Structures are given as C-alpha cells and as structure tokens.
Amino acid sequence: MQTTKAVQYFQFVPFVLLTFFAILPNPTLSAEPFEFLQDLKGVHIGQTAPGSLDAETVKQMMMPRCGRADVVDAEPGKRKNDQDVLAASAPEKWSSSHLTYRFSSNSTILDKVDTQTLKYAISQAFAKWEAVSNFKFTEETNEDVGADMVIGFHKGDLGDGSKFDDQMGVVAHAFPPNDGRFYFDAGDKWSTLPESDTMDLESVAAHEIGHLLGLEHIFEQNTIMYPVFQPGSTKRQVQVNDVKALRAIYGS
C-alpha cells in the first residue's frame, strides 16, 4: 500500500475505534500508521497477531455492522478471549426464561416493509434462539403493559452512545440484560428478500437478539454473532459456537 493511501486510511482509524470498539486511539501512535493499522486489522477480525492491511480487511471494515462495541485489551491488536471476559466480569443474564418483547410506538415507518411482514421476520429470529435454548419469547401487544425488550426503528442519535448514520454503517444495536433496548437504523434499506443494497431483517434481528440475551461478538464469519453484515445476503441460522456462547452464560 502506498504511503498516501495508508495515511488516508489512518485518518479514519479514530472513527473506527470509537464507533466499533469504544476505545480512544493513543495519539502517540500517529507517527507509525503502518504498525497501528496492522494491529487494527487484528482487532477487527479477531486475530491476536498483526497482519497487513489488505484490500479484504479494508472491505470488511467498511461493511455494515452491529453498533455494539467489541471487547479488546488496552494494547492495540489484542482481543480478550472468552475466558478472560468471563473471568473479568460475569455477563448479565435474564433471571426468567419467558421474556416478552414489543415494538416501540414511536418507531419510524419503513417504506418497503409492512408491519405484518416486519413482525413475522422478527418473530422468526426469536424462534431461532428458542430452538436452541430454554427461552420462550412472546410479543406484548398492549402498550400499557411493560415488556422485557423493546424493538424500534430510529434515525440519527438516540443518546445511547451508538449514533445511526443512515448510510449502511452501523445498521443496528442492542443492549445486554436487563436493559432490553434493540434498535434498527430506519435510514437504511431493509427487506425480507434482500437485494445487493438492502439488509435482511431476520438476519440482523437474530444477531441483535443474541446481544439482548447477553452474548458478545464472535469472530467467526459463519456465526450469527459475527459483527459484520453482508448486504443482500441472509444468515438466519444459529451456529454451534453461538449456542456454546449462550450456554456459557445460562448453562445447557
């Protein structure tokens, strides 16, 4: 990579770190863009060893993804493994296996997805997690009754630390137990039959439901909990390592 291109990429590193990893870059690293960008590749794709910032890495970094920050060590390029995370602090978890969810009444209406189709896609995403766990999820339709989880479609800054950009950057984010908030970026294009410029509702919902249950990102591309989404594609099946992560929290 040419020096000028490396510097250009380096200029957006602070944005990537703050948006995707919730850490501030060390200003003393600015004199060594190549080394730092190599470390950043390791952070982004879950490697502990540094690598060159190739075209595929840049492509992955610029793809739509979940807005939940990843768990990293203070040292650039080093990611905490599952044992480290669990040892540092036990993840929050739900005390009940029967959870309710409702759709936010102040959500932005989607242009190309009707309410019935939307609700069916979300219910299917919940069903995927029901099939591999002891959880039971029920939609609460009475707005006067509280629900464990609230799902909404919103634009811009919600004041929760994860701003939507309406440009297929951060497309959704959710919070761990017992918060229950789960938001899609209403400014992005959504569908249940995604094309090259649209996101699959059920696939992204399945990922974010994992966060609602307490899971962190898993850096294996076939898993539901992989943080990067491919526009126009679907990933709706919970995988073995997704299940292992869930059972590490709740037991078998």
Binding-site residue ranges for Zn(2+): 66, 160, 173, 207, 211, 217, 225
* 208 belongs to the catalytic site: yes
Instruction: Give which of 206, 207, 231 is closest to 218, Cα–Cα.
Output: 207
In whole angstroms, what is the distance from residue 19 CA to residue 24 CA?
Answer: 10
- Count CB atoms within 10 A of the CB of residue 130: 15
Instruction: Give which of 46, 43, 36 is closest to 6, Cα–Cα.
Output: 36
Locate all alpha helices (DSSP H) within the chain, ordered by sequence: 3-11, 13-16, 33-45, 55-61, 82-88, 115-130, 201-212, 240-250
In whole angstroms, what is the distance from residue 183 CA to residue 121 CA?
Answer: 15
Instruction: Give which of 166, 186, 172 is closest to 68, Cα–Cα.
Output: 172
Give the residue ranges of the annotated binding site for Ca(2+). Answer: 148, 165, 185
Contact 215, 206 (CB under 8 A): no
Contact 215, 208 (CB under 8 A): no
Beta bridge pairs of residue 139: 101
Q: Collapse the DSSP code of 201 into the 3-class scheme (helix H, G, I; strand E, B; otherwise coil) and give the result.
A: helix
**What's the token pair of residue 82?**
């599952």
Active-site residue among 32, 143, 202, 208? 208
Contact 25, 31 (CB under 8 A): no
**What's the token pair of residue 126?**
């919940």
Q: Could you give the residue numbers annotated as active site? A: 208
